[in-house]
Amino acid sequence: MNMLSIFSPSNYAPFNIACEEYILKNFPEDVFLLYINNPSIIVGKHQNTLAEINYEWVREHNIPVVRRLTGGGSVFHDPGNLNYSFLMNESEDFNRNFERYTKPILAVLQELGIPAILEGRNDLTINGCKFSGNAKTNAFGKTLQHGTILFSSNISDLTAALKPREEKFNDKAVKSVQARVTNVSDHLPYPLSLQDFVTLVRAKVRTMYPDIQDYTFSLRDKEEIQALMNSKYDTWEWNFGKSPRYNLCHSLKTKVGIIEFYLLVNKGIIEEVNIYGDFFTNREISELENALCGIEHKPETVAKVLKDMEYKSFFGEVKLEEIVKAMF
């Protein structure tokens, strides 16, 4: 059976993550997929999204956050980051190491004179600094292994995007492991564009899989990927609502006093709210606590309930956006 080489036409992360599920379900061939995303955060399947991201920074910069099919930690994508996926018609031993499908990446870099190696279970490093994280899963009777390659990424944005306020969360979800990172471009013996690097990677994969053929998504492919994206990978329910059960606690210092929020959230739904502090209120705080229970843990949903409940009658002259921010 032939293998297909695909370069995604899109730079939108929800579309490209949807591509992987679409290919797994619909392509009988093995597929090597490459894509480059605009700034975005990709979280592992089993992670608590809010505990992994700098939520204020993400909202301010309008960064998409997408949950993928594989486990592991969160990664930041931008136009300087190349992402690759092997989608293979086999159900590989899940405990097998990551060497098989990282070989072409390492081979390209080593031929450029860069001492890149597979280190630990699933990281590719240069002189001890990580430039690629890899993850895998067996899904729909096939194997998906994919990875990132920091080629010329904005490291300061990466650091800002994945800088959660850890003291706020208490959960059993998988935490991302912080590691020293580096860009491939910082180690090149001569200037090389990302597109030239893509060409080298595709050529190396071709030598390892001689029967591989280039493939371009058809109009039908794109429409079906878009539909999957709209129903799953670009939805709050999948990207945030699938987060494991977690507790959030945060205190807000205001001119009316300290307000402390304690939330229990399960599958994106607020199950329990306790509000404490030294503020003065004209109403029983339990009225607001009860109103917030059972709603989606989304800023716009929380803001609507607060407004409907006339939040100033509980807290006085506090800005709505301050309260909402303190609950995330």
Locate the domains of the chain by residue range: 3-239, 246-326
Give 114-142 pLDDT, tens digit per residue: 999 999 888 999 999 999 999 998 888 89
Structure tokens at 191: 């200037």
Q: Considering all CA atoms of the chain, what is the largest pairwise distance in Å, rounded to the nearest integer?
A: 75
Which range among 72-81, 89-98, 267-276, 278-287 shows the weakest confidence by mean pLDDT?
89-98
The DSSP-derived string for 201-251 is HHHHHHHHSTT-EEE---HHHHHHHHHHIIIIITSHHHHTTTSPPEEEEEE
pLDDT for residue 235:
96
H/E run at residue 259: strand 257-266
pLDDT for residue 95:
53
Residues whose CB falls within 8 Å of the CB of residue 315, separated by 6 or more in sequence, listed in order: 254, 256, 259, 279, 281, 323
Quick check: 173 and 47 in contact, CB under 8 A?
yes
H/E run at residue 111: helix 99-111
Of 276, 279, 275, 277, give the one whose Cα is nearest residue 256: 279
pLDDT for residue 2:
86
pLDDT for residue 92:
61
123-126: strand order across its sheet: 116-119, 123-126, 129-139, 142-150, 81-88, 30-35, 3-7, 213-215
The C-alpha torsion from 63 through 16 and 51 to 96, rounded to 10°, is: -150
pLDDT for residue 93:
61
Give 276-319 pLDDT, tens digit per residue: 887 877 788 999 999 999 999 999 999 999 999 999 988 888 99
pLDDT for residue 173:
64
Quick check: 149 and 132 in contact, CB under 8 A?
yes
257-266: strand order across its sheet: 169-171, 246-254, 257-266, 269-277
Fold agreement (3-239, 246-326): no
The DSSP-derived string for 40-103 is EEEE-TTS-HHHHS-HHHHHHTT--EEE-SS-S--EEE-TTEEEEEEEESS---TTS-SHHHHH
What does CATH list as the number for 3-239? 3.30.930.10
Computed over every residue of the chain, the mean pLDDT equals 91
pLDDT for residue 72:
85
40-43: strand order across its sheet: 65-67, 40-43, 75-77
Whole-model pTM over 0.85:
no
Structure tokens at 101: 């499908």
Give 8-20 pLDDT, tens digit per residue: 999 999 999 999 9
Tell whether the model's pLDDT for residue 44 goes beyond 80.
yes
246-326 is classed in which CATH architecture?
2-Layer Sandwich (3.30)
Please state, in angstroms and rounded to a whole number, the distance separating the CA atoms of residues 328 and 323. Answer: 9
Give 144-177 pLDDT, tens digit per residue: 999 999 999 999 898 889 865 555 566 666 666 5
Please state, in angstroms and rounded to a whole number, the distance separating the CA atoms of residues 286 and 308. Answer: 15
pLDDT for residue 96:
64
Grouping H, G, I as helix, E, B as strand and the rest as coil, residue 27 is coil
Residues whose CB falls within 8 Å of the CB of residue 123, separated by 6 or more in sequence, listed in order: 130, 132, 133, 134, 179
Read off the pLDDT of each residue in 212-218 and give the average, rounded to a whole number: 97
